Structure 1
Amino acid sequence: MTTISLKAAPLREGLTLPYAEAGYPGGTPVVFVHSFADSWWSFEPLLRRLPPSLHGYAPSQRGHGDADRPPDGYRPEDFASDLVAFLDAVGIGRTVLVGSSSGGVPARIVAGSHPDRISGLVLLGVPATLADKPAVAGMGEAVQRLSDPIDREFVEDFMGAMVSRPVARGLIETMIDENLKVPARVWKETVRGLLEADLTSTLAGILVPTLVIWGDQDDYLPRSDQEVILDAIHGARLLTYEGVGHVVHWEQPDRVITDLVEFVARTEPAGSPGSH
């Protein structure tokens, strides 16, 4: 398995993002973008499995994990701005972006607004929209009632809805602990930003190659939601993982890596060393 190095990227005064780096210097850069309340740890199963052809980076977003917690700036466009600043800070000229769940929203904003920096986009269980999903609205109402310290039982229940089959208990415990690091105000502001945004508009203007991966046991996202993404992004391709829930890379990390490697090989010109 690949060694993971923990580093820090200062983006601006008062905002430093810790990030995990793994893989090989000559590999194609791949930047992983986690969901709200998570941290870089969400991608530990993938980072450990990176082959020599890939060089992975997984930042913890502002307010999350051990990242700095500015008083504001928790809308999707704020996270997208941070993502571009992260690419600059660590010297990545062009990358494949992999967004999980709500992390796919800032990832696709960047893919649409900075096509010169993005060679490909992979969406792992990412919603097209949240406006038509009663379960998400109910979750949003519960988040707005949170106060510090965050109740562990709330996070355990929240995490339990993410998977449809058993995953490593150590990973789940780690992710619960990472979620508990996030202050109530960051939970509230991040979820409010997602629910108030016109998420379908963030699908406009994406011209880079796009791969959509979705588990058919996802309690949050029906197939029709994923069809909206396919209709909006020309040439986007859907891979359906049967019997898999919302967080596909926790349940099927080996398969995700295999499909990611194939996607990157199709996306990158033959012999391309990757841009750093």
Structure 2
Amino acid sequence: MSGCATPSELPRWFDGFQRFPIRTASVNGHRIAYLDEGQGPPLILLHGYGGSMWQWEYQQIPLARQFRVITPDLIGSGLSDKPALDYRPEELIESIRGLMDALGLPTATLIGNSMGGGVAIGMALTHPDRVSRLVLIDSLPDHVRERLASPLMQRALNTSVPAWLARFGALFVGNRTMEAVLKEIIYDHTLVTPAVLDRSNRNRQREDMITPLMSLRDSLPLWEQQFAPRFKDVHHSTLILWGEQDRLFPPQVGRDLQATIPQARLIIIPDAGHIPQWEQPHVVNRHITEFLQP
């Protein structure tokens, strides 16, 4: 979840199980990196806190058979710019609206995992006419700190370590921390291979990710104040998918979320943790495709 500053050039290809060209768009003066595959009704796939587009690598080909699949690195993450912002919820929301404008998309279905689910909910509440449907995967709930079941993630949210010290620590224990984080969010630890660890660490080391991560953490009270109390005002057709073995937010959190969104249905994904779209992609892709049928 942390990284040290090692600037690098934007790679030409997305390093997934198959290569996809990385594109960029200027949004509010900042570069947003994204994948754009397939044709059809547009889907925008939003990753979680500390994540990147690689968490959607198993959605690119299957979903692109029927849809236009747009997968950005959120501002402050991955290959996108990491400007000196407060990373308030509305700034993330406006970056997605701006990306849609840049791509000429009046509306899209938003599919968000974890924090990306929170951004999707924020878009649905702030710009309801720009969102056609919602898919929330182990999404950001209300009362995040109280609902968070993982001691490791609780420490990450509650730490008061200054950014410079976090960067210094990342030089010595960053790789071990990354492995611990992956094993916390992924249920099947055999999937945390050396190749996955290497890719995660390379993503962490591209640029300074510490400052955006800490700013996102510090903006969490704004999410609780501005958006979490308004789940009942989301009137879009909504599919909630939840990993049965999620160690961060147990399935009851998903059940509570379903109860507060009027048009939501919930499906529990067996043998999956916090990123079921990566751990059980065939199951998740099938549910998404069925939900999005006319």
Q: What residue identity is the alignment partner of 1:229?
A: L
Which of 210, 214, 224 aligns to 1:188? It is 214
Q: 1:19-58 CA deviation, whole Å, 9 max, x = no partner? A: 01112x2x11000011121122221121132242111001
Which of 9, 32, 35 aligns to 1:20? It is 35
User: How far apart are 1:201 and its partner, in Å?
Assistant: 2.2
Does the alignment pair 1:123 with 2:142? no
Residues 53-202 of structure 1 mapped to structure 2, 5 A cutoff: 53-129=66-142, 130-132=144-146, 133=148, 135=150, 136-142=153-159, 144=161, 147-148=166-167, 150=170, 151-165=174-188, 166-167=190-191, 169=193, 170-181=195-206, 182-194=208-220, 197-198=223-224, 200-202=228-230
Q: What residue identity is the alignment partner of 2:198?
A: E
TM-score, length of structure 1 as denominator length: 0.87
Residues 225-244 of structure 1 mapped to structure 2, 5 A cutoff: 225-244=253-272
Relative to structure 1, the CA distance from residue 143 to residue 95 in structure 2 (aligned partners, 3 Å threshold; closer, same or farther) is: farther
Q: What residue identity is the alignment partner of 1:131?
A: R
TM-score, length of structure 2 as denominator length: 0.82
User: How far apart are 1:2 and its partner, in Å?
Assistant: 8.0
Relative to structure 1, the CA distance from residue 51 to residue 67 in structure 2 (aligned partners, 3 Å threshold; closer, same or farther) is: closer
SS in structure 2 at match of 1:116: helix
Q: What residue identity is the alignment partner of 2:219?
A: G
2: distance between equivalents of 1:37 and 1:163? 14
User: How far apart are 1:60 and its partner, in Å?
Assistant: 0.8
Relative to structure 1, the CA distance from residue 51 to residue 11 in structure 2 (aligned partners, 3 Å threshold; closer, same or farther) is: closer
SS in structure 1 at match of 2:93: helix
1: distance between equivalents of 2:218 and 2:149? 15
1: distance between equivalents of 2:247 and 2:106? 37
CA contact (8 A) 1:34 1:103 kept: yes
Task: State the identity %.
Answer: 22
Q: 1:114-139 CA deviation, whole Å, 9 max, x = no partner? A: 22111110011113121313534322
Which of 37, 54, 78 aligns to 2:50? It is 37
**Structure 1 gaps, min length 5:** 269-276
CA contact (8 A) 2:187 2:272 kept: yes
2: distance between equivalents of 1:144 and 1:240? 36
Relative to structure 1, the CA distance from residue 21 to residue 239 in structure 2 (aligned partners, 3 Å threshold; closer, same or farther) is: same
Q: What residue identity is the alignment partner of 1:186?
A: P
Q: 1:101-152 CA deviation, whole Å, 9 max, x = no partner? A: 1111111110122221111100111131213135343221348456225322
Q: 1:56-92 CA deviation, whole Å, 9 max, x = no partner? A: 0011111111211111131222111111111101111
Q: 1:167-208 CA deviation, whole Å, 9 max, x = no partner? A: 263344323322343421112111222355315225242111
> Which stretch has the larger CA shift, 58-67 or 141-150?
141-150
Does the alignment pair 1:218 with 2:246? yes
RMSD: 2.1
Relative to structure 1, the CA distance from residue 178 to residue 77 in structure 2 (aligned partners, 3 Å threshold; closer, same or farther) is: same
CA contact (8 A) 1:35 1:103 kept: yes
Relative to structure 1, the CA distance from residue 34 to residue 75 in structure 2 (aligned partners, 3 Å threshold; closer, same or farther) is: same
**Structure 2 gaps, min length 5:** 1-16
Relative to structure 1, the CA distance from residue 248 to residue 144 in structure 2 (aligned partners, 3 Å threshold; closer, same or farther) is: farther
CA contact (8 A) 1:217 1:243 kept: yes
1: distance between equivalents of 2:177 and 2:49? 15
> Which stretch has the larger CA shift, 252-261 or 138-147?
138-147
SS in structure 1 at match of 2:44: strand
1: distance between equivalents of 2:202 and 2:136? 25
2: distance between equivalents of 1:84 and 1:236? 23
2: distance between equivalents of 1:143 and 1:87? 36
Count of residues paired in the alignment: 263
